[in-house]
Amino acid sequence: MIKKILFTFFLFVSISAIWPVKMVVRQEKQEQDIQLNEAARRKFDYYFYGALNAKALGNYDQAIDLFQHCHALDSTNANVLVELGTFYNLLQEKNKALEFFRRSVTYDPDNYYYNMMLAGLSKELDLKQEVIDIYSHLSQLYPGKLDVRFELANAYAEAGEFQEAIDTLDELEKNTGTNEMIALNKFRLYSMMDEKEQAFNEIKQIIEKNPSEPRYLVLMGDLYLEDNRNEEALSYYEKAKVIDPDYPALILSMVNYHERTNDKQAAQAELQKAVTSSSMDVEVKLQLLTRYLGILQQSRQDMKQVNTLFETLFEQHPNNSQLNMIYGNVLLLQEEKEGAAKQFEIYTEANPEDPAGYEQLLRIALPDQDLEKIKEVTTEALKHLPQEAQFYFYLGAVHYQQENHREALEVFEDGLAKATMRNPMVESDFHGQIGDLNYFLGNKEKAFESYEKALQLNPQNLPVLNNYSYYLSLEKKDLDKAEQMSGITVKAEPANPTYLDTYGWVLYEQGSYILAKIYIERAIENSKEDDLSAEVVEHYGDVLSRTGEKEKALEQWKKAKELGGDSPALDKKIKTGEL
């Protein structure tokens, strides 16, 4: 039985699927048409309808087995051949799928859908001539299906037969008349043949048929600009401006033109004029405004010059909260955090179910370690967005940092229960935090269970690997497992003092004192002086004591005390000079 795979879209890929493809020179039939007797026909029908039902129910293993039974009874049935080909295609057995599709067309050569499926797979396998043959065959069978002719033109172009592609599009144009899609494809093909004037003539024909439509004039200008023919481009932009000077695409094209000709000031003036125009739609203004801000950033101009522009926009569109979001980001670039926060607050009030506003407020509060503000923002966000995991995480982290451990645990557990976990790594982090909190609260078995769940979701979760291995070492259990997990963290981040200390301590608990000393010394060497942990220094003293360096051990214990180490065990070691 072929290994089960969940085909989430499988119901849509049978004969209803349409893919571009190619036709083979028909093979001679090695099998003659099979005439089933009445009993065999009933058996075939039983298997076939059973297979369709199994497929509809998502029982794909059963479905493919039943289709194979059908194939054993009648190897010439095109319907069965297509179904089997579809299965093998989704199982990534492309050559086997291709053979089934080819045979289905052999036994039902005029079937539109079977040919299209064969064409699609042939195209995927880069069988260019076969794709051409299939679409040629279909265009003769179904002359009214214009999409087939378009696919045939694409097939010729893919094979490098540009003139044949153009001829096919010319035939198609006789039925449809001149239209933008055909003209653009012919433009592309003539350009590839280096017949530039013929290429531009295709667009000129559209303009002649639509003389009052600025879109085609702008298109022509854009194509000339892309071809570095700036004067011709400008002439078409000027023609479009006569028809509609506020046409949004024209403004963007003029900006591109000014940038191409190195006139940044003109590009800026064009955008500023458009953005402040009272007649232009606000959505277009927002698009242009974004482009304008981009130009200012690229040219490293003072962003404060746009503040008066925003004042005008707020007067024109006082209820458009997107302006508040954009202005908030602009103020952040100006390092005006207070003003930016006010804009984001206005945005969240208008859009309480959009996480973006809350996320921007957190972006301001997090670097400043403003725990109360983080708590306020995340609490409000979760009233409207209980499915968003990040807000549980930040709120839980604040409670953790404020030593509200039970509240933190409740928040993380609430997040697991209610939030949509779009990423297994995020879910792994939640389990890791729950593990840490449970260990701190004395629920050690629950902690280790949470760590296991975290590592199932993300086996490379380094903080979880570190904490899990360290706590196992403190419990003096599963030390081989602890050493293996901690070793992964040290290999991943060989200069991380926390990971080096944990690995050294696990080795210490295993009795490997010399190796433990090496790793804990590395931990100290890689620690910044103001970040040196009392715990690491105390560990170093313990290791030195085990290696017989009693005086040095006492020095390290005293240093740990100076760094804030505060435990009866440390005091006893300092008093006695012994472990």
> Is the per-residue pLDDT at 429 higher than 70?
yes
The H helix count followed by the E strand count for the chain is 31, 0
Count other Cβ atoms within 10 Å, centred on residue 100. 24
pLDDT tens digit sequence for 215-253:
889 888 988 898 899 999 999 999 998 998 878 788 888
485 token code pair:
């997990």
pLDDT digits (tens, 9 = 90+) for 542-577: 999 999 999 999 999 999 999 898 889 999 999 998
Would you call 420 exposed, middle or buried from its count of C-beta atoms within 10 A (0-12, 13-18, 19+)?
Answer: exposed
Q: What is the mean pLDDT of the chain?
A: 86
Which residue type sits at 33?
A: D
pTM: 0.60
Q: pLDDT, tens digit, for every residue of 436-466?
A: 999 999 999 999 999 999 999 999 999 999 9
Does domain 1-142 fall under CATH 1.25.40.10? My reply is: yes
| Greatest extent of the chain over all pairs of C-alpha atoms, in Å | 102
Helical segments of 351-461, H only: 355-365, 371-384, 389-401, 405-418, 424-440, 444-457
17 pLDDT higher than 80: no
Percent of the residues in the chain that have a pLDDT greater than 70, as a whole number: 93
The whole-number average pLDDT for the span 488-517 is 95
In whole angstroms, how far apart are CA 308 and each of 32, 324, 327, 372?
83, 14, 11, 33
Domain extent listing, the chain: 1-142, 533-579
Tally of CB atoms within 10 A around 132: 23
pLDDT of 12 strictly over 50 = no
Predicted local confidence at residue 552, as pLDDT: 94
545-551 contact pairs (CB < 8 A, 24+): 545/573, 545/578, 545/579, 546/508, 546/513, 546/516, 546/579, 547/513, 547/514, 547/517, 550/577, 550/578
Helix (H, G, I), strand (E, B) or coil at 148: helix
pLDDT digits (tens, 9 = 90+) for 340-356: 999 999 999 999 999 99
Q: Whose CA is closest to 537, among 573, 492, 488?
A: 573
pLDDT band at 196 (very low <50, low <70, confident <90, very high): confident
Interatomic CA distance for residues 88 and 24, integer angstroms: 19
Closest CA to 7 of 121, 88, 73: 88
What confidence score (pLDDT) does residue 279 get?
67
Which residue bears the tokens 């670039």? 333
Measure the CA angle with vertex 412, ends 411 and 416; round to 5°.
Answer: 115
For residue 286, give the nearest of 319, 251, 322 by alpha carbon.
322
**Which tens digit of pLDDT belongs to each residue from 37-94?**
888 888 898 899 999 998 888 888 889 899 998 999 899 999 999 999 999 898 899 9
